Structure 1
């Protein structure tokens, strides 16, 4: 019985109990991480609700000339034919896009969503469509039933009716069916295309005003594409198949301006299609209007260091206990561990009403002060609570720095942990573990 009591008072038993307690505390820590995930999902739901009412992401490409033609197929063992109407699609030679985007942040409850109003101006020209590469008889080409189409998303958020001026004549757009992609299609009434090509080329221009959110994308369908996007948004994310020209991208405190120049040779699709217009959405380029720093992602990253914080804090208390010969009960370790977990609930709660930096300072200071005051009643010398306060402050500062870093997070984290381990090894080197019974 004496040997059994001696084992439970030994350093080995205490290390085992503290280690088991650290593992047990992972359970409430996992609940905190789940809470962060639930709040982040709630944020996405609110953002989706806001943007669905204001206007969703915008993708637009056009104009495109659409020309119907007849395909006659002989019926087997008969002199008769079946006739089907197919369509040919011809892209512009030149397309110049100038877009001005004014962004605002809509707030609901504790969540923000970025929305924008855009003024888009397009101009360019077409060459007269040619069927010379196809085995189609001239009399089967229905020039007098041609039309102009534009494919776009977020049709409900167009603020004004759309019209196009082609060769000096104004044409109205109406919605029509689009089986080629998930985009909506706008199409003019049938026209006789020959009336619009008195010369080799026919110029066009059209304007469109959109309410949208999160993203604005274009597709470079012309032989020569020039695009200019200006906005008051300070943190753009350029995305898609093409990035803006490096020397023509400017971002400053008042917003950004970006330019693209894309040639037919730069893109992996043709200038005309016969039969079916393919889905070209994967070749889009443009800008994402998103809040660059997601506070919930920072909370999630902070919570992933929870096990490290608990383990190192317990280790510091254990080393102090071993050096000072002061007994710390497992119940005291439990209270300290729960206080460390409360840091993350405070952090997420305050973040929703303030910035991450403010929340981190308040939550970190509260926990450090609580544990320091608690340790004063456990440890006899004032130097030990001061050491704990300093150690926790340094630890939370170290984790905050890692959270802010992206490219160097692993490097700085590894170096920091190596130094922490070295300090613990230094202060624990003279502990006599064989005679440790506290």
Structure 2
């Protein structure tokens, strides 16, 4: 009898203690970070593939559009003195050498109205890049050029070689006639040799300079149709620059150095409308330049068409919570094991952990063929169902299995809510983790960790 009591009171080995089981579960949790990292690499690889497809289609269809113009270009002569020595007499004379340079004048008024329509016909497999067609209408006026500000004598000006030019980043994707009306005169644009910037140049020929030479302003009007992708930007070179843009794209990002007019800005599910009005006193560059044009990219403004629901970014954010999901799930099983005295083998923990990892592969694969929300619901339901059924078989108790199902449902729902939030994600996440910690402390308060 005494022997039986002694055997019943015989202390357990360390490997059978709660401490040893906790250590093994902790090590398994750390080990499962390896396949979780592989999943994150898979998400990044798919995201990079999407970017490659976007870049490929942008190369064929049209890239970002930046418009810099129109600009009045008038050549003028400059002279340089140089010495010429006669080899026979040794006499030295001074002669002049003429050089042709250009003066550039920005318009007094520049108005633009743009209609931007998204194009969904270029879907490549499962990828749908952001491409658009932009119909852009320009009008405005040039005042008489003031050469005195540039210290250029009027007698050196070559009016007969004057031209109007525009600079753009997307010359090959212009899909309309390249012409401009100056007063009642229609002139054709012609491509010019590219300069050492990202811009291409269009310029007119046979420019009628009589009005400008007589000190009179000229009106201009022209239309351009672009195929483009991602963004449209303007440089406000007019003394008064006005831009009005309409689009059926529902998620714009108005960007650049100048804000759109809040009073007229509209963004909704049907698209957006934005207006800009920029005066010469709002920026720090001149209306005329000699010799060369300045780089004014720092003054760009416009709109970037964005995809607010980037499925790969959302998948990556969800995967970053993988360690939390695995750790809390294992903790729930460990607490049930400690309270109910049911033995759960480390192999069974491993199966549960692998099922949790499978959630992320299911999520990204389904997301590529549907919405993120639907994919999240399907992947979450599949994994929770699998773990619940497995829990019934290893715990032999439906009550514990239903508790695990409820806990996982709450956990996945909590993570989904955080992913959808932007401004309050950190606050909600911190409060949620604090409540989870409180629940763990409450349910583990009576466990004898010495056994």
TM over 0.5, yes or no? yes
State whether structure 2 residue 226 is matched by structure 1 residue 215: no
- What is the aligned partner in structure 1 of residue 169 from structure 2? 153
Corresponding position of 1:98: 113
- Corresponding residue to 2:327 among 300, 305, 311: 311
**Aligned residue for 1:269?**
285
**1:339 maps to which residue?**
355
Q: Number of paired residues?
A: 433
Q: Is the 8 A contact 2:238 2:280 kept in 1?
A: yes
**Counterparts of 2:397 and 2:391, CA distance in 1:** 10
Structure 1 contact 69–140 (Cα < 8 Å) conserved: yes
Report the Cα offset of residue 14 of structure 1. 1.1
Equivalent of 2:50 in 18, 22, 43 = 43
1: CA distance between counterparts of 2:179 and 2:224?
8
Contact kept, 8 Å, 2:106 with 2:288, in 1: the verdict is: yes
Between 130-139 and 11-20, report the one with greater CA deviation: 130-139
Following the alignment from structure 1 to structure 2, what is the Cα–Cα distance between the partners of residues 5 and 24?
A: 27
What does the per-residue CA deviation read over 1:364-418, in whole Å, with 9 as the maximum and x for residues that have no partner? 0011011111111111322111111011000000000000011111111010000
Kindly indicate whether the alpha-carbon contact (under 8 Å) linking 1:66 and 1:88 is maintained by their aligned counterparts in 2.
yes
Q: Answer yes or no: is 1:54 the counterpart of 2:72.
A: no
Which structure 2 residues correspond to residues 84-95 of structure 1 after superposition, within 5 A? Answer: 84-95=99-110
Q: For 1:4-153, list aligned pairs within 5 A.
A: 6-75=13-82, 79-105=94-120, 106-153=122-169
> Does the residue aligned with 2:46 lie in a helix, a strand or coil?
helix
Q: CA deviation at 1:78?
A: 5.8
State how far apart, in whole Å, the 2-side matches of 1:213 and 1:400 are. 31
Residue 6 of structure 2 is matched in structure 1 by none
**Aligned: 1:388 with 2:401:** no
C-alpha separation in 2, matches of 1:43 and 1:86: 47
Change (3 A) 1:78 1:243: farther
- Of 245, 248, 259 in structure 2, the residue corresponding to residue 229 of structure 1 is 245
Aligned-residue offset at 1:307: 0.5
Matches within 5 A, 1:349-388: 349-388=365-404
Q: What's the TM-score, normalizing by structure 2? A: 0.93
Structure 1 range deviating more: 265-274 or 298-307:
265-274
**Which ranges in structure 2 are unaligned for 5 or more consecutive residues?**
1-9, 84-91
1:430 aligns with 2:419: no
Partner residue of 1:184?
200
> Which blocks of at least 5 consecutive residues in structure 1 are unaligned?
none
Note the aligned Cα RMSD (angstroms). 1.7
CA distance in 1, matches of 2:11, 2:403: 34
Q: Distance in 2 between matches of 1:336 and 1:163?
A: 68
Deviation at 1:197, TM superposition (A): 5.7
Q: Which has the larger radius of gyration?
A: 2
